[in-house]
């Protein structure tokens, strides 16, 4: 059952070479529409250990909107209840052994129904120790849990409308309206609290199992927060929204590798002056939750700590934005004071200026090296292996890239020739393994391989296509796709390139 966790205070792989796999839990196999924290997650940890891997990297774990994007969550603290294992609930006796629905598309609503049944079972059968753990969980997480539970209950009452479209009294959190809502929605609020208790209980059991097998868990923190989220609703003084909750300025990036018109993310910008006035307590609490869950964290869009691309909310595309300085040094100093040495990785992709590099290096944060970005014919390209830094994380590709096989197949003949010339042999027949070897051989302390590349998958298997909203975040694998020799093959390469040793 749930135990209190404290944040680790240092980069956990100092002076060690290691490797891992990038796989979001929703991509695990299973009988429902998405993977979860159940038996297949434990089996995946066993696969990593058998393969000589030491890291499981995943995407943010928060509750998502209907588009299922883990980068636009309903809360920066809460866990996604759809990741809860129903088998775990049955093992605890709070739910009858589930009989999975024949229509996989209906499984989301079915999961939520099962969670309601599990709460009834929990209230009827849980022992004193479990009840005490439940009470302790509520006390420990009260600083975010109370607002989140009320927000979700109100959102359901309002047919999942965004909070700025709610009746004015609920939208603006008028005290009398909040008290009435807490009474009116008491059962719905209790259900949300129970789901979070179960999620975090399951998570920490999984984390313990990972540690028993020498596997570290690598999380992801999006720099920005979804407009329709508990935090913006409850703490709007920290966000660029008007008196009615409408966004004034929003986040995104200018034109880049992924999009000719840039990316209009739509997240409200921070009011950095207010955050700084409060000693960045909002960020400290956010990181405290995540560092209790993970051994290390990637800060998505790290460059936004130095300067962010501010777009008028009514703009059509991100082209209309401009750069605005952010107090990144002051923020990182506050986080360093709170947590000492920070186990963070800076996602430093895109338009990176000397100022961004200086900020990253000042706090000794490793950056990212993406091999799919390396072979443009420029020998000074920082993603080429001979330009890698030891204190960095190398990837064949990320969740925003195509699979390495599909990427290779989309290269021109000249680009393929450059890749062959650099690697020194013909890569045609064995792709993506030449790129995997290249990552593992890098001087970078850590090498991360997307599961799609480990399985050698081609077109149609990417996790996300930036700038689009359809058919993303739904990729999954099946155990039958793993060759019987795969673990031995990976373990051999990890030993060969000194990435396998006991931590």
Instruction: Output phi, psi for 376, to 5 deg.
Output: -100, 5
pLDDT tens, residue by residue, 432-441 = 999 999 999 9
Would the pTM of this model clear 0.75, i.e. be above it? yes
pLDDT of 13: 61
Q: Determine the average pLDDT of the residues in 471-485.
A: 97
pLDDT tens, residue by residue, 39-96 = 999 999 999 999 999 999 999 999 999 999 999 999 999 999 999 999 999 999 999 9
- Catalytic pick from 170, 300, 348, 445? 300
Active site annotation includes 237: no
pLDDT tens, residue by residue, 485-498 = 999 999 999 999 99
Q: Determine the average pLDDT of the residues in 108-124.
A: 95
Encoding tokens for residue 316? Answer: 């059509």
Question: E strand or H helix at 253, and its extent?
Answer: strand 249-253
d(CA 243, CA 228): 15
Active site annotation includes 400: yes
What does pLDDT average to over the chain? 94
- Band (pLDDT 50/70/90 cuts) for residue 463 is very high
**Burial of 21 (C-beta count, 10 Å sphere; 0-12/13-18/19+):** buried
Per domain, the residue ranges of the chain are 235-365
**Strand ranges, E, within 260-340:** 263-268, 296-300, 307-312, 322-325
Q: Which of 437, 447, 454 is nearest to 493 (CA)?
A: 437
- Catalytic pick from 220, 228, 310, 347? 347
Whether the pLDDT of residue 428 is over 90: the answer is no
Report how far apart, in Å, the C-alpha atoms of 492 and of each of 47, 266, 329, 440 are.
14, 45, 42, 11
């Amino acid at each position: 059952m749930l135990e209190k966790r404290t944040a680790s205070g240092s980069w956990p792989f100092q002076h060690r070479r290691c490797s891992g796999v990038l796989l979001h839990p929703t991509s695990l196999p299973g009988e429902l529409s998405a993977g979860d924290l159940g038996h297949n997650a434990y089996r995946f940890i066993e696969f990593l250990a058998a393969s000589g891997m030491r890291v499981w990297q995943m995407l943010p774990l928060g509750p998502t909107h209907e588009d299922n994007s883990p980068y636009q969550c309903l809360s920066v603290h809460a866990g996604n209840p759809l990741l809860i294992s129903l088998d775990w609930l049955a093992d605890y006796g709070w739910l009858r052994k589930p009989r999975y629905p024949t229509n996989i598309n209906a499984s989301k609503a079915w999961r939520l129904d099962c969670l309601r049944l599990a709460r009834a079972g929990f209230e009827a059968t849980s022992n004193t120790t479990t009840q005490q753990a439940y009470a302790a969980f509520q006390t420990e997480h009260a600083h975010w849990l109370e607002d989140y539970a009320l927000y979700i209950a109100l959102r359901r009452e309002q047919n999942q409308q965004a909070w700025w479209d709610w009746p004015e009294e609920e939208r603006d959190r008028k005290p009398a309206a909040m008290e009435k809502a807490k009474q009116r929605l008491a059962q719905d609020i209790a259900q949300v609290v129970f789901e979070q208790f179960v999620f975090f209980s399951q998570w920490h059991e999984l984390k313990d199992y990972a540690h028993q097998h020498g596997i570290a868990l690598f999380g992801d923190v999006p720099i920005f927060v979804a407009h329709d989220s508990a935090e913006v609703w409850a703490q709007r003084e920290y966000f660029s929204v008007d008196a009615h909750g409408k966004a004034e300025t929003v986040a995104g990036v200018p034109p880049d590798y992924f999009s000719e018109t840039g990316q209009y993310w739509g997240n409200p910008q921070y009011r950095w002056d207010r955050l700084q006035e409060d000693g960045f307590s909002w960020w400290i609490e956010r990181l405290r939750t995540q560092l209790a869950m993970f051994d290390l964290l990637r800060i998505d869009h790290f460059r936004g700590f130095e300067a962010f691309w501010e777009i008028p909310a009514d703009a059509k595309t991100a082209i209309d934005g401009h750069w605005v300085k952010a107090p990144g040094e002051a923020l990182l100093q506050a986080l360093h004071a709170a947590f000492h040495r920070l186990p963070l990785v800076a996602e430093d992709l895109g338009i990176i200026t000397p100022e961004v590099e200086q900020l990253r290096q000042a706090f000794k944060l490793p950056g990212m090296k993406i091999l799919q970005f390396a072979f443009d014919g420029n020998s000074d390209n920082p993603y080429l292996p001979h330009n890698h830094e030891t204190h960095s994380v190398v990837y064949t590709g990320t969740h925003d890239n195509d699979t390495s096989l599909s990427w290779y197949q989309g290269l021109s003949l000249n680009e393929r020739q450059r890749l062959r010339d650099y690697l020194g042999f013909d890569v045609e027949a064995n792709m993506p393994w030449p790129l995997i070897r290249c990552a593992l051989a890098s001087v970078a302390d850590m090498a991360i391989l997307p599961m799609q590349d480990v399985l050698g998958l081609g077109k149609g298997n990417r996790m996300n296509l930036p700038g689009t909203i359809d058919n993303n975040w739904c990729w999954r694998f099946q155990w039958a796709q793993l060759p019987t020799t795969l673990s031995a093959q990976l373990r051999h390469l990890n030993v060969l390139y000194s990435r396998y040793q006991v931590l």
